[in-house]
Chain A
């Protein structure tokens, strides 16, 4: 009997679902092992019945529920609670589900501030309208899944590498814990580290890191942070490179921005990074702003509106 799987997306961008599809031919293997009973991106099971006459969201019983995205409105919450009720285990897929992700940058603002800007841009007709008819009401902020429901497996990444998605699914079907990395991005980075030297300030990423010859591999390039550009590798969980290991942004010769969230699940990427830099004598007052260090992990009350 194939295992029943339910999957849904909440306050998300659908990148995690594309990462599932990006398993490639392994997707066909997975489809032999599991039976999807609900997955809006691929199949037509409906919340309110196939004839649209139900009153409450209903999802079929499943062995595992996969949820991407954080919780931002009343419908996300209702779906998450229904999934928790119907699924034996819940996998939080992607950094929005585990730590809020980019959409939790909104937690630095009140809902009124967000809506006022959106409905008053240069191209928007003048209106005092705040749409609500037939729409799910916004919650006060963007929540990570585990702030609202119990989560069994956390699989961060923006999106998680398809290799990791495959490993998590296979591990679940085999009844074992998934083999996911609990190291930092730096622990998996091939660039050369020689110590920071007399570096006192970091530059913004406005020029390419130095490399001797354009065709040189990464293990001939010096660490981007040591070259004087902010890289969030030291405080970010490894795994973004999948089985190929090399961190994906570094392989494009671009510094890490922290998309897999903190190394330890309840870490604070901004505090950890500022501490690490300050203890190395870097002038942290020289940054134009530091909230961006929490751009992937602003749920769990880490980003809040400024006090007026």
Chain B
């Protein structure tokens, strides 16, 4: 009897968007093809046309409700440039501070709420308990701590900046309001607590979670690609500003100014995905998802950022990076290492938020420069949790948008996600056997990318 059939994993769960996996089995029940279908298309590039540019940072946030701060700030930076305005130093610092706290919150959300169940409860457990609710029941004290700490980070943002989800406090020319000394003090105290929790979390993961899965980490979803991320002038990882570093699979790299991004990045279209596939156009090899010989494929998000960076700019994150590199080298390619890299970045984000709050300039009341609408073009970029986020706008003489292009963090990884899923499915599904645990392990190759 033929084993040929299509297995549909729909929807992919415990991720932050809409996608499904189709696995084609041949007559012998082995994988002949896999596709990850990215199902969302909303058309922001079109419907922002004609809108006053200064309103865009409050519209494009709805591209993603999990990382709205990053869209908000990339958009503000793009409009600053269209209008030819430079925010005062404290305007930039306040933007960066809130973005950094949002990064810290996001990583806790992903590690504990979305990914942890696969490691703490186990990949083969019943789906009714293989989730954050199951994790909470199995370990109520930890669950309470996680919920409290994540909430603390979220509430710092809401109390200081008004809206935490779909923010408004970044404005063209800077920030909407200055920080008072009283605000600085309680934010600093809260961030120190969250840093302690970040240090606890990475220790917990290194001693109690990752060691159990070392074999899986070495195999599941492993592919060989290049990487992209943002670095400062010293080559250290930076989430808010800097040069874009595009690294080849062999570890060699080119740094470029994001204003020139169209010279380096292209987007390929496949008939089976609404989402487009960014690739490294500047490598001149085209685009291919072939597992043995991929072309133009690079990855974004945590593992990519710590691979391209020469170092971390804060001491504890730097010592974590050194330990990581001594174990896995540079660039590290194993897909599940995204989780480990995420926790190193978590430490950095907490340390850096504290640095910004300790900077005496952070309470300077000069936070917003005068702005006049004009015709121009501007590319704004930040590192969103899921990768290098690019907003590129043009305006007319009234400062209305005439053209917009966006490359969203997650989309850099759409090609690599397809490859990792293909690799995992081929390795795990043999002779038509594909039980729930096996299919969940295929999904784990997606979850590592936190799409």
Identify the stretch in B34-42, B315-323, B351-359 within 8 Å (CB) of chain A at 4 or more residues. Answer: B34-42
Cα-based distance from A19 to B150 in the complex (angstroms): 13
A251 within 8 A of B: yes
The one of B10, B14, B16, B405 in contact with A47, judged by C-beta atoms closer than 8 angstroms, is B10
The one of B114, B166, B268 in contact with A125, judged by C-beta atoms closer than 8 angstroms, is B268
Q: Does A14 lie within 8 Å of B65, measured CB to CB?
A: yes
- In the complex, the number of residue pairs spanning A and B with C-beta atoms less than 8 Å apart equals 265
Q: Does A122 lie within 8 Å of B440, measured CB to CB?
A: no
Q: Among the interface residues B109, B161, B261, B269, which one has the most CB atoms of the partner chain A within 10 A?
A: B269
Q: Does B10 lie within 8 Å of A252, measured CB to CB?
A: no
Q: Does A18 lie within 8 Å of B39, measured CB to CB?
A: no
**Could you tell me which residues of chain A, from 38 to 65, have a CB within 8 Å of some CB in chain B?**
40-48, 50-54
B270 within 8 A of A: yes
Residues of A within 8 A of B450 (CB): none
Residues of B within 8 A of A283 (CB): none
Q: Does B7 lie within 8 Å of A259, measured CB to CB?
A: no
Q: Does A106 lie within 8 Å of B65, measured CB to CB?
A: no
**Could you tell me which residues of chain B, from 50 to 67, have a CB within 8 Å of some CB in chain A?**
50-52, 54-55, 58-59, 62-66
A307 within 8 A of B: no
B431 within 8 A of A: no
Identify the stretch in A23-31, A172-180, A265-273 within 8 Å (CB) of chain B at 4 or more residues. Answer: A23-31
**Could you tell me which residues of chain B, from 228 to 280, have a CB within 8 Å of some CB in chain A?**
261-262, 265-274, 276, 278
Residues of A within 8 A of B208 (CB): none
Q: Does B55 lie within 8 Å of A292, measured CB to CB?
A: yes
The one of A12, A44, A117, A122 in contact with B13, judged by C-beta atoms closer than 8 angstroms, is A44
**Could you tell me which residues of chain B, from 305 to 332, have a CB within 8 Å of some CB in chain A?**
none
Q: Give the shortest distance, in Å, between A98 (CB) and chain B (any CB).
A: 15
B372 within 8 A of A: yes
Q: Does A123 lie within 8 Å of B278, measured CB to CB?
A: yes
Q: Does B130 lie within 8 Å of A135, measured CB to CB?
A: no
Q: Does B131 lie within 8 Å of A129, measured CB to CB?
A: no
Q: Does B42 lie within 8 Å of A204, measured CB to CB?
A: no
Cα-based distance from A252 to B367 in the complex (angstroms): 13
Cα-based distance from A259 to B143 in the complex (angstroms): 32
Cα-based distance from A27 to B109 in the complex (angstroms): 14
Q: Give the shortest distance, in Å, between A44 (CB) and chain B (any CB).
A: 4
Residues of A within 8 A of B66 (CB): 13-15, 18
Q: Does A118 lie within 8 Å of B266, measured CB to CB?
A: no
Closest to A127 in B: B269
Interface string of A273-308 (1 = CB under 8 A from B): 000000000000000110110010000000000000
Residues of B within 8 A of A52 (CB): 7-10, 23, 434, 439
Q: Give the shortest distance, in Å, between B102 (CB) and chain A (any CB).
A: 11
The one of A15, A25, A121, A253 in contact with B405, judged by C-beta atoms closer than 8 angstroms, is A121
Cα-based distance from A115 to B166 in the complex (angstroms): 25
Q: Is the interface of A mostly helix, strand, loop or mixed?
A: loop
**Could you tell me which residues of chain B, from 407 to 444, have a CB within 8 Å of some CB in chain A?**
407, 434-436, 439-440, 443
B360 within 8 A of A: no
Q: Does B272 lie within 8 Å of A134, measured CB to CB?
A: yes
B3 within 8 A of A: no
Residues of A within 8 A of B162 (CB): 248-252, 254
Cα-based distance from A252 to B131 in the complex (angstroms): 36
- A40 in contact with B13 given A22-B154, A52-B439 (CB within 8 Å): yes
Q: Does A43 lie within 8 Å of B143, measured CB to CB?
A: no
Q: Does B392 lie within 8 Å of A15, measured CB to CB?
A: no
B178 within 8 A of A: yes
Q: Give the shortest distance, in Å, between B372 (CB) and chain A (any CB).
A: 7
B200 within 8 A of A: no
Q: Give the shortest distance, in Å, between A19 (CB) and chain B (any CB).
A: 6
Interface string of B372-395 (1 = CB under 8 A from A): 110000000000000000001000
Residues of B within 8 A of A40 (CB): 11, 13-14
Residues of B within 8 A of A115 (CB): 41, 43
Closest to B365 in A: A214
Q: What are 24 A-to-B residue pairs whose CB atoms are below 8 Å?
A: A14-B17, A15-B68, A21-B113, A24-B155, A28-B136, A43-B131, A43-B133, A44-B440, A52-B8, A103-B42, A106-B46, A118-B46, A118-B276, A121-B267, A135-B273, A136-B39, A204-B373, A205-B171, A206-B54, A206-B370, A206-B373, A252-B177, A254-B176, A288-B400
Contacts beyond the supplied A125-B287, A136-B39: 4 A-B pairs with Cβ under 8 Å: A31-B133, A40-B13, A109-B43, A114-B41
* In the A-B complex, the 4 residue pairs with the closest CB atoms: A15-B65, A252-B162, A114-B43, A24-B151
